[in-house]
């Protein structure tokens, strides 16, 4: 029994008239009659009682009605699922994100995708630093990475989703805590708290570059595993910390002051990255929502 036979059976069963059923199916009546007879032979049972005046369902025909409707409904669902997948309405998209400033973006994207594209499931993975997120992307272990990188591998596409700046976090008791702007040279004699100098780590790199440009080596008295810990150490008056404007916007610690830097250096913008050869429609849909939410200009 195939789908065509099921459609023919239901048309006749619902019309109880071969002529009207044929019109509904846009076929001639003789092929419809042959299809029903072939179906009855395959099932080994008569589905319709026919005479010159009427057509009626047999007990076997009545028993087949619900299963036949379920078959067509399952087919319609399958077609809808395939179409939704092609349109980017269903699927799994994995996102690896790094850094405190990415949390707000990921939360907003997740809310929008859940609301606007409920068929897409997001798998979120938080990394302490951007380079591991990039490695996961290159290795195919994630579909999207959010982070800050100075070097983008050739097989990866990336787009800025949030412009950012460098600021210095100092304890609120620091002599410069009330300043609006300062030069990194003003802190040449100060102790610093830094993130670990991992390969590709942007903030430790910027601290080294800026200090070198002003003729000193930053006195890093303690390494912090992440930004939140670094700010806690600043609050405890352990030292200053070079961080991001976006971090300052989201900090609620009253004992930490953030001061803008006068210097210009390589950008610290937040980027979204994905593999160039990944043409999945669900990925494209999530990227669209992300860029729409956070246009970089």
Contact between residue 283 and residue 140 where contact means Cβ atoms under 8 Å apart:
no
**Strand partners of residue 57:** 48
User: Which pLDDT belongs to residue 74?
Assistant: 81
147 close to 119: Cβ distance less than 8 angstroms: no
Cα gap 11→25, rounded to integer Å: 7
Give the CATH architecture of domain 91-163+269-293.
3-Layer(aba) Sandwich (3.40)
CATH of 166-261, one of 3.40.190.10, 3.20.10.10, 3.40.50.720, 3.40.50.20: 3.40.190.10
Range list of β-strands (E), 235-288: 241-244, 256-261, 270-275
Nearest to 65, CA basis, from 112, 16, 132 = 16
| Same fold? 3-86, 166-261 | no
Q: What is the pLDDT of residue 115?
A: 86
- Beta pairing, strands 48-50 & 55-57: antiparallel
Does position 189 have pLDDT exceeding 90, yes or no?
A: yes
Residue 36's pLDDT band, with cuts at 50, 70 and 90, is: very high
Residue 45: pLDDT band (50, 70, 90) is: very high
- Inform me whether the pLDDT recorded for 100 exceeds 80: no
At residue 81 the predicted structure's pLDDT band, cuts being 50, 70 and 90, is low
Give the tens place of pLDDT for each residue, 217-236.
Answer: 999 999 999 899 999 999 99
Percent of the chain exceeding pLDDT 90 equals 60
In this predicted model, which residue has the larger pLDDT, 108 or 88?
108
- Residue 91 pLDDT > 70, yes or no? yes
pLDDT at 43 over 60: yes
- CA 159 – CA 226 distance, rounded (Å): 24
What letters, b where the CB count within 10 A reaches 16 and e where it falls short, cover 66-104?
eebeebeeeeeeeeeeeebeeebbbbebbbbbbbbbbee
- Summarize the confidence of residues 20-48 as an average pLDDT: 92
Question: Which tens digit of pLDDT belongs to each residue from 244-256?
Answer: 999 998 888 999 9
Q: For a pLDDT cut of 70, what percent of the chain falls above it?
A: 95
Helices (H), the chain: 3-15, 18-25, 29-43, 59-86, 102-116, 130-138, 202-213, 227-235, 245-249, 281-293
Average pLDDT of every residue of the chain: 89
Q: What's the CATH number of domain 3-86, 1.10.1750.10, 3.30.930.10, 1.10.10.10, 1.10.3720.10? A: 1.10.10.10
Q: Where are the domains positioned within the chain?
A: 3-86, 91-163+269-293, 166-261
Q: pLDDT by residue (tens digit) across 153-173?
A: 999 999 999 999 999 999 999
């Amino acid at each position: 029994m195939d789908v065509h036979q099921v459609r023919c059976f239901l048309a006749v069963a619902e019309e109880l008239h071969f002529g009207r059923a044929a019109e509904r199916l846009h076929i001639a009546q003789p092929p419809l009659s042959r299809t029903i007879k072939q179906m009855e032979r395959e099932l080994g049972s008569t589905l319709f009682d026919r005479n010159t005046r009427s057509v009626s369902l047999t007990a076997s025909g009545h028993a087949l009605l619900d299963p036949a409707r379920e078959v067509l409904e399952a087919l319609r669902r399958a077609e809808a699922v395939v179409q939704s997948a092609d349109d980017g309405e269903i699927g799994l998209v994995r996102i690896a994100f790094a850094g405190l400033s990415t949390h707000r973006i990921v939360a907003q994207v997740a809310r929008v995708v859940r609301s606007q594209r409920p068929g897409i499931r997001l798998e979120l993975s938080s990394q302490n630093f951007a380079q591991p997120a990039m490695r996961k992307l290159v290795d195919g272990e994630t579909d999207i990475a959010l982070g800050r990188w100075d070097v983008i591998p050739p097989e990866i596409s990336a787009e800025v989703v949030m412009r950012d700046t460098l600021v210095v976090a100092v304890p609120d008791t620091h002599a410069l805590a009330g300043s609006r702007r300062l030069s990194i040279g003003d802190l040449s004699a100060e102790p610093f708290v830094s993130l670990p100098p991992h390969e590709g780590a942007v903030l430790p790199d910027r601290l080294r570059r800026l200090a070198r440009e002003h003729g000193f080596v930053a006195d890093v008295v303690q390494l912090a595993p992440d930004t939140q810990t670094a700010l806690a150490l600043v609050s405890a008056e352990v030292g200053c910390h070079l961080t991001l404007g976006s971090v300052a916007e989201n900090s609620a610690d009253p004992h930490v002051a953030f001061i803008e830097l006068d210097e210009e250096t390589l950008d610290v913008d937040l980027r979204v990255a994905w593999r160039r050869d990944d043409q999945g429609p669900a990925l494209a849909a999530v990227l669209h929502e992300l860029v729409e939410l956070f246009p970089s200009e």
